């Protein structure tokens, strides 16, 4: 696959290249990554022609945004797509034990509070521009509005009301109508939220992390068809299921940002065995699979070192025999209706 080919986002004028760069890893969840390595990783992506960068205030409590800004503000602004997220506003930390400090062990000493009101969305947007040092972003995504992050189904429902009745979504719509941004997105980590968003709001695209990978095609049943009917695109985050589909066979790995349970390890091993029989890297199968769905505009793995950028590029280009997809389906390792590369889009 040509990683520089572009696809349109929903019904907007925004287009994205097939391969982008997800910024969560540059928030240093596992501990500090040197500034030199982080900036070199972004530069390596830029030099390879990667021109779509996604970040968030949440990633490292501002650290990811600062790093992307350090590199990208020296580049011509019209030569790349930059997206970030809203839903949290930041202040200096009041406690070293705040959950944001333990989530991002290499992150910055600031702590967030959720705020999906008009004031909160606009404040989050302004803070992001200041951290980036860049005067505009191409899209803003509503971040972490789900039961996991809000504590319960009721908590998520209350935040959806806040986004709607408190003017947060209207603020995004006004930014789009005024040309400050080109698209409105929402980040999704679990099934069930896409229908709730689309019942209330016009969302141009969803950033889907985890429910559509080689290991889980749950979004294929309801979420992705609903997006297609509503004219919303999808960007795939965490295409390696947070690590397990990119790690070496004997290396420690994660699934959903946690140690993988035994059934997941076993399923991943079976998928790897099929790829190995055809001499295909598992990472290539993972990246190219998700791009076969017609509503997927881009995939954004999160490299944290230049060699990972090079690996992603190699995996995008690696030829995959049609028999790989056929065998994965025949063994029940892929949903029978899942689109695969080589089929008509």
Residues annotated as catalytic are 54, 59, 85
Lookup: tokens for 212: 């559509």
Q: Is 256 left (phi over 0), alpha (psi -120 to 50) or beta?
A: left
Please report, for the chain, how many H helices and E strands are present, in that order: 13, 12
The Cα 302–Cα 23 span in angstroms is 6
> Which residues, listed in sequence order, are joined to residue 258 by a DSSP beta bridge?
255
Lookup: tokens for 44: 């390596």
The Cα 184–Cα 235 span in angstroms is 12
Q: Whose CA is closest to 244, among 222, 260, 232?
A: 260
Q: Whose CA is closest to 160, among 146, 174, 140?
A: 146
Q: Whose CA is closest to 125, among 185, 84, 93?
A: 84
């Amino acid at each position: 696959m040509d990683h520089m080919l572009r696809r349109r986002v929903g019904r907007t004028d925004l287009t994205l290249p097939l391969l982008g760069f997800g910024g969560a890893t540059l928030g240093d969840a596992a501990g500090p990554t040197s500034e030199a390595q982080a900036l070199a990783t972004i530069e390596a992506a830029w030099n390879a022609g990667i021109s779509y960068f996604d970040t968030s205030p949440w990633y490292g409590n501002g650290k990811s945004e600062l790093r992307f800004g350090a590199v990208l503000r020296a580049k011509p602004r019209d030569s790349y797509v930059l997206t970030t997220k809203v839903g949290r506003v930041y202040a200096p930390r009041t406690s070293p034990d705040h959950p944001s400090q333990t989530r991002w062990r290499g992150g910055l000493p600031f702590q967030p509070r959720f705020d999906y009101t008009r004031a909160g969305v606009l404040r989050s947007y302004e803070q992001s521009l200041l951290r980036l040092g860049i005067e505009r972003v191409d899209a803003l995504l509503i971040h972490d509005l789900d039961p996991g992050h809000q504590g319960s189904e009721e908590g998520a429902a209350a935040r959806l009301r806040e986004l709607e009745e408190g003017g947060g979504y209207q603020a995004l719509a006004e930014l789009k109508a005024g040309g400050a941004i080109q698209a409105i997105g929402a980040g999704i980590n679990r099934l069930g939220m896409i229908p709730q968003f689309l019942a209330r709001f016009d969302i141009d695209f969803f950033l889907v992390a985890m429910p559509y990978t080689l290991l889980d095609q749950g979004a294929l049943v309801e979420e992705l068809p609903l997006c297609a009917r509503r004219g919303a695109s999808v960007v795939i985050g965490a295409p390696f299921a947070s690590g397990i589909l990119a790690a070496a066979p004997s290396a420690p790995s994660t699934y959903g940002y946690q140690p993988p349970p035994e059934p997941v390890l076993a399923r991943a091993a079976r998928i790897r065995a099929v790829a190995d029989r055809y001499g295909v890297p598992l990472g290539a199968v993972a990246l190219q699979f998700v791009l076969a769905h017609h509503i997927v505009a881009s995939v954004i793995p999160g490299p944290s070192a230049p060699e990972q950028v090079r690996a992603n590029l190699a995996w995008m280009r690696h030829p995959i025999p049609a028999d790989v997809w056929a065998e994965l389906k025949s063994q029940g390792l892929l949903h029978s209706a899942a689109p695969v590369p080589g089929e008509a889009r």
